Amino acid sequence: MAQIEQSDGGKKKKGAQKKMQIHVDFTPMVDMNMLLITFFMLCTTMIKSQTLNIALPSNEKVEQEQQNKAKESQAVTLILDTERDEEGNVKYDAETGKPAHMIYYYLGKPDVADEDKDGLIDNSNLKVEKFIGNQNGEVQGIRKILHDKNKTVLEKIAVLKQDWKDKKISDDEYQARAKEIRNDSLIQDRPVVIIKAGPNASWESLIGALDEMQINQISRYQIDNINATDSALIFDYLAKNPRK
């Protein structure tokens, strides 16, 4: 392991100190370290889980009069669905490589009138969007729809954010004031989003929808169960626009 070498093969003057070179072989040490690294890499995780807080309404029956009714002009209903194959595995979008989540949405009340009685809804206001996120700094997909709905709040928060970036206000102050703006009842056009998830919708799409609420600073949203009207709307949509 450790070797001591004498230099100058014996040709030395008397009295001169012997020069010693010490070699310590570090190979076993490196071996051991590598083993330890392998152990740590296999047994530990670098991903720290984050959490998303939600509050669901209580399950108790609420009297009709006590229910909060959202104004029609403010209501946005999202119906989540995920394309799955016969075995129930999530399909992936061929272009983007992302899971094929479909977000059906309508603004205000659903339009289900069928005047000519052909079994199809005449003017369905149901549209479909996807989770795309931002592209080139521009909001896309469903985010654009929600963004446009909550413009006033987002504009106010953008001003606040600039102040915060310029270090004019502290973190806490920024959070508190952003919350105030989100919940400001004087802003008339704050949307109320109702998130409904179909039976096939994957957990990821629900989280994605909740995430959009956070990104778009929407304070009023709720998770609801899908009802017969919603199913009929989607059925109608798929009859008109069959999936490839």
Partner 1 sequence: MGKVKPKRKSTLIDMTAMSDVTVLLLTFFMLTSTFLQKEPVTVLTPSSVSELKVPVTNLTTVLVSPEGKVFLSVSGDADSTYSSEKVRAEVLQTAVAEYNKTHSNKIQLTPAQVAKFSKMNMFGYRLADLPAYLDKEQFQQDELLSDPNNPLAGIPIDDNKDLNKPNEFQIWMRAIYNSSNPHMEQSIKSGEGIAVKADKDTPYETVHNILDNLQTLKMNKFSLMTALKTEND
For partner 1, the closer of residues 124 and 205 by Cβ is 205
For partner 1, the closer of residues 64 and 136 by Cβ is 136
Closest to 216 measured CA to CA, from 149, 147, 161: 147
| Shortest Å, Cβ 21 to partner 1 | 11
For partner 1, the closer of residues 83 and 114 by Cβ is 83
C-alpha 78/C-alpha 107 separation (Å) is 9
For partner 1, the closer of residues 5 and 115 by Cβ is 5
For partner 1, the closer of residues 74 and 140 by Cβ is 140
At residue 77, what are phi and psi to the nearest 5 degrees?
-110, 125
Copy the structure tokens of residue 142: 């469903």
Copy the structure tokens of residue 56: 């669901």
Interface with partner 1 (CB under 8 A): 3, 23-27, 29-30, 33-34, 36-37, 40-41, 43-59, 80, 82, 88-90, 99, 133-134, 197-208, 210-211, 214-215
For partner 1, the closer of residues 88 and 242 by Cβ is 88
The CA R_g of the chain, rounded to the nearest whole Å, is 31
Cross-strand pairs, 186: none
Copy the structure tokens of residue 118: 């052909």
| Shortest Å, Cβ 197 to partner 1 | 4
Closest to 143 measured CA to CA, from 219, 208, 49, 237: 208
C-alpha 28/C-alpha 34 separation (Å) is 10
> 10 to each of 7, 19, 21, how far by Cα in Å?
8, 11, 15
Cross-strand pairs, 23: 3
| Shortest Å, Cβ 101 to partner 1 | 10
| Shortest Å, Cβ 200 to partner 1 | 6
| Shortest Å, Cβ 119 to partner 1 | 27
Cβ(74)–Cβ(108) under 8 Å? no
| Shortest Å, Cβ 113 to partner 1 | 29
